[in-house]
Amino acid sequence: MHANKFLVLLFGLLTEFFAFSQMENMQHNYNLNLVNKDEVFSNATEGLPFVRNAQVIKLKNGQNYTLIAKQVKQNINGKIIKRFAYNGSIPGPIIEVQKGSKVKIKFINQTEVDQTLHSHGLRLNYLFDGTVGLGQKAPVRPGETFEYELYFPDTGVFFYHPHIREDYAQDMGLYGNYLVNSNKQNNVIPVNKMVPINLDDILLTDTNNPYYKGYANYAAMGRFGNIMLINGVDNYKENFTKGEIIRFFITNSANTRTFNFNIPGAKMKLIAADMSPFEKQEWIESLIIAPSERYIVDVYFKDKGIYKILNSNSETKTQLGLIEVLEGKLDNSFVEDFMVLHADTTHKNEMQKLSKHFNKKVDKNLIISVDMKMDHSQHGELPEIEWEDNMPKMNEHMTSKDVAWLLIDKETNKKNMDVFWSFKKGQYYKIKIFNDPKSKHPMQHPIHFHGQRFLVLTDNKVKNNNLAWKDTVLVKTGHTVEILLEASNIGKWMSHCHIAEHLSSGMAIGFSVE
């Protein structure tokens, strides 16, 4: 058994070496041009302020707020690097509002690149979705200002970030959260503290791993980082009191990495997904979370001591941060309530009313594939999730010029933005998404729909018995996922893979709701 595994690994390494050598020869003249500094985004830090801690900003209905994208510098793992930040912090300000609120965000671009502000998961007016060409007429150029009108019809944790060259701007630090509260929800499920957690990674090496102005690199698998971050720092630590129940609002802000989040020794309970609570709470040992997904997890720290926050998967176990739990007196104990797996009756009733749509015929079929010069499909047994970059040299030199990630409409065979679906407001549409394991590079893809919400009905024909409203679904390698999309929000919208380099390589379709 061990000999067979060794031979498979050796074959894969030899194949990668020879393929990479061939690609280097094919692209010799092309790659010579990459050393031209005019084509590379500057990484200079001279004169830039240091990044600061994020603030919690509570906004009332009708209020205005200014959000500035600017250049900063940060010390990560002992290295001072250039970063982007919203209002000087990474993550950006935590903007807290009540469900049903409307606010205006004055967005100012003080970076050297075009920007927009995408409020991921919000069912807002499409003109303020931050998608140039579908809603927003033009990007926010350096030095310009744009006013976004935001609407918050759903509770939960939401995600804001750029929607131009996400592979660069978001990876540089431009991301943040909206926390949308409902007084009713908070009264039903009491906790001691609420803590936002942004999972991220960053690639830091001696060569600085540049970003190119004209295209995205790392276009095959996405840019995996080698330094893990929580809330923008590589040395995250929190202190809690023994017996506390902590509500974590978890967002995956990484370009491509799917995390398997866990805290050994702590008891974890899954509460909610992207846009709603689940029908019933669940005990979990760990949480698989793909780029742009959000989950709400309650965690009970029964004993004092040091708890490690880990990213644990079949390939590695990496520490993300530390939690120190101390002795102390609690003003309130919610342990008794925590030990009960509550059902959300309101949400459960809503799902029951919608169940008449669950067995409807499939309305749309999407196939996930890729067009690239090289074929990676035969490198041993296919994992459902590509947890790490196992072909880093090859991946680094694959650009959005060489790779076209594809969303294919099965009925018309149209691809990417040649696909434009039309939906009617108030109707429900079943969409089947197949991730082709025979493509030239099979891997997982988080598929996001702008401006709407959906239910994940099945995964590889296995029925989902605990539904929540989502805007992003992880489609694993070889899997077929069926979702029920509620066409609730009029406008012109985009659906795309939320691996940033895949979006930059064209992996998106359009649709309208009328």
Q: What single string gives the DSSP state of each residue in 153-179? A: -S-EEEEEE-SSSHHHHTTTT--EEEE
**pLDDT for residue 34 is more than 80:** no
Strand partners, 196: 249
Q: Which of 34-43, 355-364, 400-409 has the lowest mean pLDDT?
A: 34-43
Question: What SS3 class is residue 494?
Answer: strand
Give the pLDDT confidence score for residue 373 in this predicted structure: 73
Same domain for 331 and 458, yes or no, is no
The mean predicted confidence, pLDDT, of the chain is: 92
Give the alpha-carbon dihedral of 359, 481, 484, 164, to 10 degrees: -170
pLDDT digits (tens, 9 = 90+) for 280-315: 999 999 999 999 999 999 999 999 999 999 999 988
What tokens were used for 364? 């749309």
The DSSP secondary-structure symbol of 346 reads H
Same domain, 411 and 330: no
In a domain, residue 405? The reply is: yes
CA-based Rg of the chain, rounded to a whole angstrom?
Answer: 22
- In this prediction, residue 6 carries a pLDDT of 40
At a CB cut-off of 8 Å and minimum separation 6, what does 52 contact? 88, 89
Both 334 and 363 in one domain: the answer is no
Look at residue 360 in the predicted model and tell me its pLDDT: 97
| Residue with the two structure tokens 């009264």 | 187
Band (209; pLDDT cuts 50, 70, 90)? confident
Q: Is residue 123 part of a domain?
A: no
Q: What's the number of CA atoms in the CB half-sphere (13 Å) around residue 408? A: 15
Position 422 in a domain:
yes
Residue 189: per-residue pLDDT:
80
pLDDT top residue among 6 and 429: 429
Residue where a domain stops, chosen among 294, 316, 342: 342
Give yes or no: residues 329 and 363 share one domain. Answer: no
Comparing CA positions, the residue from 286, 170, 301, 194 lying closest to residue 249 is: 194
Query: Residue 45: is its pLDDT beyond 90?
Result: yes
Q: What is the reported pLDDT for 2?
A: 44
Query: How many structural domains compose the chain?
Result: 3
Residues 361 and 504 in one domain: yes
Please state the rounded mean pLDDT for residues 125-142.
97
Cα separation, 390 vs 500, whole angstroms? 18
| Element housing 455 (H / E) | strand 453-459
Q: Are residues 506 and 363 in the same domain?
A: yes
* Domain annotation covers residue 509: yes
Task: Report residue 139 as tokens.
Answer: 């990007």
367, 449: one domain: yes
Sheet order of strands, 428-435 included: 404-409, 364-371, 428-435, 480-486, 453-459, 462-463
Determine the structural domain holding residue 274 and report its residue range.
193-342
Residue 243 and residue 199 in one domain = yes
For the cut 50, the answer to whether the pLDDT of residue 26 exceeds it is no
DSSP-derived 3-state class of residue 271: strand
pLDDT of residue 182: 84
pLDDT for the residue 208 = 72
| Span 218-251, pLDDT tens digits | 999 999 999 999 999 999 999 999 999 999 999 9
Q: Residue 380's pLDDT is what?
A: 61
Question: 341: burial class by Cβ within 10 Å (0-12, 13-18, 19+)?
Answer: exposed
Which amino acid is residue 138, in one-letter code?
A
CA-to-CA distance for 361 and 114, rounded, in angstroms? 42
Contacts of 25 (CB under 8 A, 6+ apart): none
DSSP codes joined into one string, 64-104: EEEEEEEEEEEEETTEEEEEEEETTBSS--EEEEETT-EEE
CATH classification at residue 401: 2.60.40.420
What's the CA gap between 198 and 24, in Å, rounded?
37
Q: What is the mean pLDDT of residues 185-203?
A: 86
Instruction: Report the pLDDT value the prediction gives residue 375, as an integer from 0 to 100.
Output: 61
Same domain? For 369 and 300 the reply is no
Q: Which pLDDT band, with edges at 50, 70 and 90, does 15 fall under?
A: very low
Is residue 23 pLDDT above 90, yes or no?
no
Does residue 232 sit in the same domain as residue 312? yes
The verdict on residue 114 lying in a domain is: no
pLDDT exceeds 60 at position 19: no
Alpha-carbon gap, residue 218 to 11, rounded angstroms: 23
Same domain for 333 and 216, yes or no, is yes
Please report the pLDDT score of residue 376 as a whole number: 58
Q: Which of 342, 369, 395 finishes a domain?
A: 342
In a domain, 184, yes or no: no
Task: Say how far apart CA 381 and CA 40 lie, in whole Å.
Answer: 37
124 assigned to some structural domain:
no
Whether residues 406 and 283 share a domain: the answer is no
Residue 11 — pLDDT band, cuts 50, 70, 90?
very low
Q: Which of 286, 312, 342 is the last residue of a domain?
A: 342
pTM: 0.91
212 vs 39: CA distance, rounded Å: 6
Residue 337 domain-assigned (yes or no): yes
Structure tokens at 193: 């503290």
Segment 398-411 mean pLDDT: 96
Burial class (CB in 10 A: 0-12, 13-18, 19+), 78: exposed
